[in-house]
Amino acid sequence: MPSPEPRAPAGASGGPGYNLPMYAPLLFLHSWLRWAVLLLGLIAVWRAIDGTRSGRSWLPGDERFVKLFIIVLDVQMLIGLLLYFGFSPLTKAALSDFAGAMKDPIMRFWGVEHVFGMVIGVALAHVGRARARRARADVSKHRRIAIFFILALIAILAAVPWPGRLYGRPLLRL
């Protein structure tokens, strides 16, 4: 059974600037898009590890999955930032009383830990992509993608609100 939504503190369930008609669809999209991010990231990592081990050339398929991963990751980040700064009642509450939010583990996760982990993950993915593009040898491209995308996925996975955690969300939002 999916875990219930985290409870927002008093005053976080609405008020000025809260837009439920936009919040619900953005949260739904953000929840489902994470699976595309994880799948494309794993495929890109698998191809990079395979390319490193076999010493094969950098193929158009490698480039395609790297680009798709970065694009979907960037769209996911954009939606997350829209939720964070514009539509989420949890982050609005956390940002309105930042000191109080740091004392509450749920509010601290949504106000700081989730966004920080995701920004780190996106930055690592972009750095890996840039470093791979500068590599001259194909094996170096594969190795750099493998290393940086694995680190990016670790940061992302650590910042996902998995069910069973205090601030967990359902695996599939319907």
Residue linked to tokens 């939606």: 79
Q: What is the pLDDT of residues 10-41, one digit of tens each?
A: 444 445 556 778 999 999 999 999 999 999 99
Residue 169 in this model has a pLDDT that exceeds 90: yes
Percent of the chain with pLDDT over 90: 84
Among 160, 29, 166, 3, residue whose Cα is nearest residue 87: 29
Q: What is the pLDDT of residues 138-162, one digit of tens each?
A: 999 999 999 999 999 999 999 999 9
Q: What is the pLDDT of residue 112?
A: 96
Q: Which long-range contacts (CB under 8 A, 24 or more apart) does 148-152 make?
A: 148/124, 149/41, 149/44, 149/45, 149/48, 149/69, 149/124, 149/125, 150/45, 151/124, 152/41, 152/73, 152/121, 152/122, 152/124, 152/125, 152/128
Show the tokens assigned to 156. 């992302």
The pTM of the full predicted model, rounded to 2 decimals, is 0.88
Query: Cα separations (Å) of 18 from 4, 26, 109?
Result: 21, 13, 20
Show the tokens assigned to 15. 């008020």
Q: Is 43 helix (H, G, I), strand (E, B) or coil?
A: helix
Q: What is the mean pLDDT of the chain?
A: 91
Residue 106 in this model has a pLDDT that exceeds 80: yes
Q: What is the pLDDT of residue 18?
A: 63
Cβ-Cβ contacts under 8 Å for 103 (sequence gap 6 or more): none
